[in-house]
Homo-oligomer: A and B are copies of this chain.
């Protein structure tokens, strides 16, 4: 099968490319390299079945020359920076909502009928229903990131209904593991490598988050993408039944790095405006298909720290985002 992966040079996208190639698919990778790294595609690039195109999908017809014969689009390209949404309020709109419209409309023109989309648990805003199932009460958005991803979900659903496309929408928790290059583990490791005696923590350290190891998540994503939706779109939460708070995650990081920093808290129950102090998804629907995660969160944190220690170049190019 010929697949097209947007965001192919990103943390998650590059793992997906590797796995699709392993499964003997032909893979067209697209990325604007705004946050992705060509190094993540080093292994893929040696593969005859892989081609890479540096494109910014904000250009409406950018995908048109690449969709010929494509059976499945995995749309992962996004601004994944939840925290800085308020500093650059147009970025989420452009890279998450408008780019998704461009991908869908290119698919419509080319007659491509299948899309899998990585959405986010942030679309639940601050729902009081925790763990949060896919059909929780209609939530109110609290971040431009969540709003932009929800808008993308809506576009996919409407295109699916209107143009006979089938969509798999996966709302994910945060992801950790090899090639991780933004977020709290990234921030903490960078701080501790610069000065192991102290660490600054946004909020009160009690914000609870659920994480999946990236290998686990790619397994879930491919599993769900292989299920042909019985309705125009199928929506799935993807997470674990575990969660940790920021302090607990920091315990693992400090243990792995062998440091004992003084912890300095910014205060408040959230890291930044629009941060959600507790994201925890109800993943019964995913479990009911037989899939289950294999890596505990603390091990995923440890994998991430080891990757960062072994790949200091990521700090030079990466950005400090959630």
Contacts from A to B (Cβ < 8 Å): 85-86, 89-90, 93, 97-98, 101, 105, 108, 125, 134-144, 146-148, 150-151, 153-155, 157-159, 161-163, 231-233, 235, 273-274
Given A125-B157, A147-B154, A150-B151, CB of A274 within 8 Å of CB of B141: no
Chain copies in complex: 2
CB nearest neighbor in B for A92:
B158
Q: Distance in Å from the Cβ of A215 to the closest Cβ of chain B? A: 29
Residues of B near A151 (CB, < 8 A) are 97, 147, 150-151, 154-155
Contact check: which of B85, B153, B155, B232 meets A158 at CB < 8 Å? B85
Q: List 13 other contacts, CB 8 Å, given A134-B138, A135-B137, A141-B153.
A: A89-B108, A97-B151, A141-B155, A141-B157, A141-B161, A142-B158, A142-B161, A143-B158, A147-B151, A147-B158, A151-B155, A162-B273, A162-B274
Residues of B near A158 (CB, < 8 A) are 85, 141-144, 146-147, 274
User: Main SS of the interface on chain A?
Assistant: helix
CB nearest neighbor in B for A152:
B151
